[in-house]
Structure 1
Amino acid sequence: MRKYDITTVDAYIAAAPPESRETLEALRDLVTSTCPRASEGISWGVPFYRQDGFLAGYSAFKAHALFGLTFRLTDDDRKRLEEKGYGTGLKTVKIKYGQKLPTAILREMLKRQAKANADKVKTKAKTGKMAK
């Protein structure tokens, strides 16, 4: 569900289908507790988080939520998620409504991205250039 007229995460969740709200709130709590310095907002019509760069976002669909990361899932992440019944894309995890969040795996991935973002900021500060 992309809503370009919505400007806050609270409004996005309130406008989402009722069956999606518990999952969306759980994803929100997961991101904000894992990365408490992350800024929360709406980008590209969906809830999105930044911490020293792009971090993650999520969106509601008819029967599932899609959790999107700003980096590619590793083969190990993908294997662990798929073994637990989650769909995966290049940078996404598909979570059916009513399905328990893969909290431990998502936390690991968020921490990995937050560290990579922080490392880029440190490298840029040292060299005056953005690391590739």
Structure 2
Amino acid sequence: MGTRDPRIDAYIAKSAEFARPILEYLRETVLQYCPAVEETIKWGFPHFMYHGMFCSMAAFKQHCAFGFWKWPLLFGETSSAEAMGDFGRITSLKDAPGKKLLAGYLKQAMQLNETDTKPGAGSKKAPKPAARIPDDLAAALKKNRKAAAVFDAFSPSNRREYIEWLSEAKREETRARRLAQALEWIAEGKSRNWKYASC
């Protein structure tokens, strides 16, 4: 019944006590209704693969989350915005989707993956406008030609991640530290979240 990954056993074991039964329930339900699923760890939390990315679960300090990779095709815009995942904050088994409901979604999601169905053009959001480069970053890039060339070659989303990271700094010291780190990583051709790219 599915390909189990011992790393998920370890993930569940080290999760908070309240989270363990929730994660076990979600995992066993996925394995029961999608017997060909393969487990793995991506971005530091459990994912289930079935003809590509299928669904995932995660534990946080006070809640768990569960979601489908193709949730827009299953839920439209009704997916929860209050937490990662499609069912909001799951703090106990009572908050988790019932087995019958979850089984129905799993079967629909399996079919979407089997047929390689992708969201239609009408469901795509308009692209975000290009982020404005802050003055301090622009000045620093002028002094570092290598970093400037790499930054110019980055995709708009990669540039936006660095700009937002700098903008989120609340203190000047934090911003200065982030700016220095950003220049170093950019010059090395690294995206803002390069540490997670290989997970």
- TM-score, normalised by the number of residues in structure 1: 0.71
Relative to total residues, which structure has the larger strand share, 1 or 2? 1
**Greater Rg, structure 1 or structure 2?**
2
Paired with 1:51 and 1:12, the residues of 2 have a C-alpha distance of: 20
| Residue 111 to residue 30, structure 1, CA distance change in 2 (3 Å) | same
**For structure 1, which runs of at least 5 residues remain unmatched after alignment?**
1-6, 79-86, 122-129
For residue 101 of structure 1, what is the aligned residue in structure 2? 96
Q: Is the 8 A contact 2:65 2:87 kept in 1?
A: yes
For residue 131 of structure 2, what is the aligned residue in structure 1? none
**For structure 2, which runs of at least 5 residues remain unmatched after alignment?**
1-5, 121-199
| Residue 19 to residue 67, structure 1, CA distance change in 2 (3 Å) | same
Paired with 2:55 and 2:42, the residues of 1 have a C-alpha distance of: 11
User: For residues 6-32 of structure 1, what are the alpha-carbon distances to aligned partners after superposition, in whole Å with 9 as ceiling and x for unaligned?
Assistant: x71000001101111000100000110
Amino acid in the other structure paired with 1:74: F
For residue 65 of structure 2, what is the aligned residue in structure 1? 66
Q: Is the 8 A contact 1:70 1:91 kept in 2?
A: no
1:42-121 to 2 correspondence within 5 Å?
Answer: 42-71=41-70, 72=72, 73-75=74-76, 78=78, 88-89=80-81, 92-94=86-88, 95-99=90-94, 101-102=96-97, 103-120=99-116
RMSD of aligned Cα (Å): 2.7
Amino acid in the other structure paired with 1:92: D
SS in 2 for 1:106: helix
- TM-score, normalised by the number of residues in structure 2: 0.48
Relative to total residues, which structure has the larger helix share, 1 or 2? 2
Aligned residues: 109
